Structure 1
Amino acid sequence: MTNWLPDLTASSGPLYQRLADSIESDIDRGVIDAGAKLPPQRDLAYDIGATVGTVGRAYQLLRERGLVSGEVGRGTYVLGRQNAKPDFIAPDAQGTRDIDAPRGKLRFDSTAAPDVGQGAIVTEVLSRTASDHAHEISSYTRDFPERWFEAGASWLSRNSFRPSADTIVPTLGTHAAVMAAIAALTTPGDYVAFEHLTYSQISRSAGLIGRRTALVASDHQGLDPDDFERVCAQKHPKMIFLMPTVQNPTLAILPAARREAIARIAREYNVVIIEDDLYGGLTEDPTPMLADYAPERTIVAGGLSKSVAAGVRGGWLSCPPAYRHRIRVAHKMMTGGMPFLLAEVNARLVLTGQAADIRKRAIAEINARTAIVRETLAGFEFKSRDNIPFVWLTLPDPWLSGTFKNACLEHGVLIDDEDEFKAGRSEQVFHAVRFGISQPRQRKDIADGVAAIRRLLDEGRAGYDSFS
């Protein structure tokens, strides 16, 4: 490019953001053509009187918007753009693109159920429900049919755990179930215990409603009961959130002896246990659930998002009967209440056996994709499990988790670094990343994405430069 300079006067904000906005505007208006090479960072920094770091941040922001790509040693080039405004692409006629994937990126940062054709089933159930219950759909839901509780009891049942319908609360997904329990059974200022690495959206959400986080140490087997007892003695948490069967993101399965010890400690210190079994329902793991060891204080939460369809927001929790009314009220206060249409659709999916059938198909697809991962990443340290839609990859030296995430983004793959799963400010460093394998529509996309990850691992940091 020659004789081109960005207009930095048309907007306000940090210089790097104004520079990125100006370049995006010029791309949209055709001033900068697709395929054009942007000026070297040092040259542009000199021309506009900025630092090289400022220009580098602007170029990185353009990469995140899907507008440019950087090639080590060659520079930064403008990508083709079909229209100016949308940052996301719709599916093509064959429905083979990811509807919510940023342009040119593979969505490896989600573990929602893979597309195995469940859309047609859900469409049919939705249509029939709307026809059968037109009056209920037109109003607020005040009375819950017994079948909604029966569906929850059925879906949450695993191994010897068989909750009765009178322990069930239907919820808008597993996340809402857990948050309703926290809101109902703790008060602002109370501590809720979490592992250092976990599904951190819960700790963040709990913080928004005034609960404090207490971190408990874990190892490759899961939560350390001795450290849990230490935290109980020092901080007196009212509740602990756990994923004993397939912990997210480490994939650990808590041994029975540790579950028994945790139940004993929770009973001694009067701690309520939340057992998130969202991934457990995908496994064939025979380990008794925490609820089997401490039924009087354990709340089991689960749903349909990882095995059937995330978009139907199907969830339930099972709790001791004394908690049920409080949690149900808290769920209504925090979510606005259960919509009849979704609750009925989810119940029908479960009670007709269609949800179980979809889960079987989803598991088969996940395992086919897991086989691709295991073959492609052979020789590197990673953890995967049959039936489970994500991988926990330990990075070789000198990779750092955040740097590797950025490198994958540069190569068109969205993954999650370890910080995404930290429940609080933790001194522990794991040098690992998690990537999901369920969201891309085709196995070819899985192969391409994992191949890109493999290339980065093979090349080391010499294969990635944050500055072009």
Structure 2
Amino acid sequence: MTNWLPNLDNDPDQGRKGPLYLRLAERIEADIAGGILPPGTKLPPQRNLAFDIGVTIGTVGRAYNLIRERGLVSGEVGRGTYVMDPKAAGLVAPASPSEPFGGTRSTFVHSGLIRLDSTAAVEVGQAELMGSTLTEITRQHPNEIASYSRSLPASWRDAGVRWLSGAGWSPDGESVVPTLGAHSAILAAIAAVTVPGDKIAFEDLTYCSAARSVNLMGRRSIIMHTQNGSATPEDFERLCAQQHPKLVFLMPSLHNPTAFTMPEDYRRATAEIARRYNVWIIEDEIYGSLVEDGHVKIAAFAPERTFVIGGMSKSVAAGLRGGWVACPPHLAARVHTAHKMVTGGLPFLMAELTARLVNSGDADEIRARVRNEVRSRGAIARQALAGIEFSTQPLSAFLWVKLPDPWLSATFKNAALNEGVLIDDEDEFKTGRTEKTFHRVRLGITVPGSGEELKNGLTVLRRLMVTDNASYDSYS
């Protein structure tokens, strides 16, 4: 371990305003680029660094998460966070100020890597449809674009009703709140019905950005253990009786990362348990929007306590920060206010574009193209990984792959990166420290530019999986 401490006071970019966690992350990047933190260096534990530089542990945690997402470090629960080799990772310096997206930032960009670490909607020509609609909006609403959004047009709510409806369930338009994507919808719902100190239940594997965010908000995330990729009603009731959570976060359709879909009897039982213990429910349907034959929603069994979350990032376009939350009765105004407080407000251009795409049917057309491409890529993945254990579904944007012995999840991630492939290890989805080890990785199939690129990446991973890793050196 090094005695390194980030010198934020002498940061050459200190005049540039920005969140402290972002400045800390960029200082770490700069020190890696400058050789101050060479490959293999173990960064200080988050709690120690927070104490030494006088910030919260949440600030350090967000900075470490950011640099890990950028491929600069690797981390394993109980082992620590280590600097990776920028050359082995295929990282290059940022563009000069005269180049596009250049400037004063010290951010590295990925070059020549195959990205299987994301599940954004696959590129199917969205720009053409979105571009014409944007042109129309800017011509028709120049004043609204230049100012703040001060109202919620009925068309924005109507789009949410249309997008969230399915399997015989449909929200009331007055209960729908348009949001700046699904993540902000989750935070707004949590902020609206909980207070600092409240416990929020998450499955032991889940969308961990939500779990980390609630900790930053002063809530406490608690772990609900799962079986075969889903929390069982028995596990949920035991947790309610012992820990008394105020809210539970669930992804019942195409669960991330296990690709499991919760059976209807589980959904019904979960709703009944939540009602008995007075627990709010967030039903995240961000991946569920890819499913053609929708599953009955938990909200159909417990409408008085369930928030249904939906968005565009997995099925239309990740850059289109549009989403909605359908609220229990009489809570929409509170959630709308909470959303404004946690995000700063909803930009007119994004909300109007999202609504028009949905209400015109263009979003459905894009989603149909995305579904076809996901099916095609899923077939490529199943063929490339034939004989290897994994979980997926025909319209899943990812695979949850069991690693052959003796591979460990974090070690395999490092080996893949050294071979030019970015993937997510299991730690990316763990709610917190747990003795449970899955020895799995998640492989996203939608971001590579073509099916051929996806196949090449999977071929590399398959070769690694069937190779004994006894001689593998993370920092060679």
TM class by smaller structure: 0.7 to 0.9
1:21 aligned onto 2:34:
yes
Flag structure 1 segments of 5+ consecutive residues without an equivalent.
Answer: 1-10, 26-56, 68-80, 92-99
Check conservation: 2:85, 2:475, Cα contact below 8 A: no
- State the SS of the aligned residue for 1:375: helix
Select 1:117's aligned residue among 112, 125, 128: 125
Gap change, CA 1:463 and 1:236, over 3 Å in 2: same
Q: Post-superposition shift, 1:424?
A: 1.4
- State the SS of the aligned residue for 1:320: coil
Check conservation: 2:258, 2:392, Cα contact below 8 A: no
Q: Post-superposition shift, 1:20?
A: 6.2
Q: Post-superposition shift, 1:138?
A: 1.2
Specify the alignment match of 1:142 in structure 2: 150
Check conservation: 1:214, 1:231, Cα contact below 8 A: no
Specify the alignment match of 1:359 in structure 2: 367
1:375 aligned onto 2:383:
yes
Check conservation: 2:166, 2:295, Cα contact below 8 A: no
Cα displacement string for residues 120-148 of structure 1 (whole angstroms, at most 9, x for unaligned residues): 11111111001111111111111111000
- State the SS of the aligned residue for 2:151: coil
1:434 aligned onto 2:447:
no
1:163 aligned onto 2:171:
yes
1:212 aligned onto 2:220:
yes
Amino acid in the other structure paired with 1:177: A
- State the SS of the aligned residue for 1:223: coil
- Tell which deviates more after alignment, 214-223 or 261-270: 214-223
- State the SS of the aligned residue for 2:221: strand
Larger Rg: 1
Q: Post-superposition shift, 1:239?
A: 0.3
Specify the alignment match of 1:63 in structure 2: 87
Gap change, CA 1:117 and 1:101, over 3 Å in 2: farther
Specify the alignment match of 1:278 in structure 2: 286
- State the SS of the aligned residue for 1:321: coil
Amino acid in the other structure paired with 2:192: A
- Tell which deviates more after alignment, 278-287 or 200-209: 278-287
Check conservation: 2:404, 2:466, Cα contact below 8 A: no
Specify the alignment match of 1:253 in structure 2: 261
Amino acid in the other structure paired with 1:329: T
Indicate the RMSD between aligned Cα atoms, in angstroms: 2.5
- Structure 2 CA distance for aligned equivalents of residues 150 and 463 of structure 1: 58
Q: Post-superposition shift, 1:443?
A: 1.4
Q: Post-superposition shift, 1:22?
A: 4.5
Specify the alignment match of 2:458 in structure 1: 450
Select 2:274's aligned residue among 243, 251, 266: 266
- Structure 1 CA distance for aligned equivalents of residues 175 and 7 of structure 2: 55
1:347 aligned onto 2:347:
no
- State the SS of the aligned residue for 2:202: strand
- State the SS of the aligned residue for 1:61: coil
1:317 aligned onto 2:325:
yes
| 4+ residue runs over 4 A deviation | 11-14, 16-20, 22-25
Give me the TM-score of the superposition, normalised by structure 1. Answer: 0.81
- Structure 2 CA distance for aligned equivalents of residues 282 and 22 of structure 1: 44
Check conservation: 1:299, 1:320, Cα contact below 8 A: yes
Specify the alignment match of 2:302 in structure 1: 294
Cα displacement string for residues 256-301 of structure 1 (whole angstroms, at most 9, x for unaligned residues): 1111111111000100000001111111345311011111111000
1:231-242 correspondence to structure 2 within 5 Å = 231-242=239-250
- Structure 2 CA distance for aligned equivalents of residues 298 and 12 of structure 1: 46
Select 2:234's aligned residue among 223, 226, 237: 226
- Structure 2 CA distance for aligned equivalents of residues 225 and 418 of structure 1: 24
Flag structure 2 segments of 5+ consecutive residues without an equivalent.
Answer: 1-5, 9-26, 39-81, 101-107
Give me the TM-score of the superposition, normalised by structure 2. Answer: 0.80
Q: Post-superposition shift, 1:387?
A: 1.5
Check conservation: 1:456, 1:463, Cα contact below 8 A: no
Check conservation: 1:148, 1:344, Cα contact below 8 A: yes
How many percent of aligned residue pairs carry the same amino acid? 49
Specify the alignment match of 1:191 in structure 2: 199
- The number of equivalent residue pairs is 401
Specify the alignment match of 1:398 in structure 2: 406
Amino acid in the other structure paired with 2:85: L
- Structure 2 CA distance for aligned equivalents of residues 360 and 268 of structure 1: 40
Specify the alignment match of 2:56 in structure 1: none
- Structure 2 CA distance for aligned equivalents of residues 101 and 294 of structure 1: 45
Q: Post-superposition shift, 1:254?
A: 0.7
Select 2:345's aligned residue among 302, 313, 337: 337
Specify the alignment match of 2:394 in structure 1: 386
- State the SS of the aligned residue for 2:162: helix
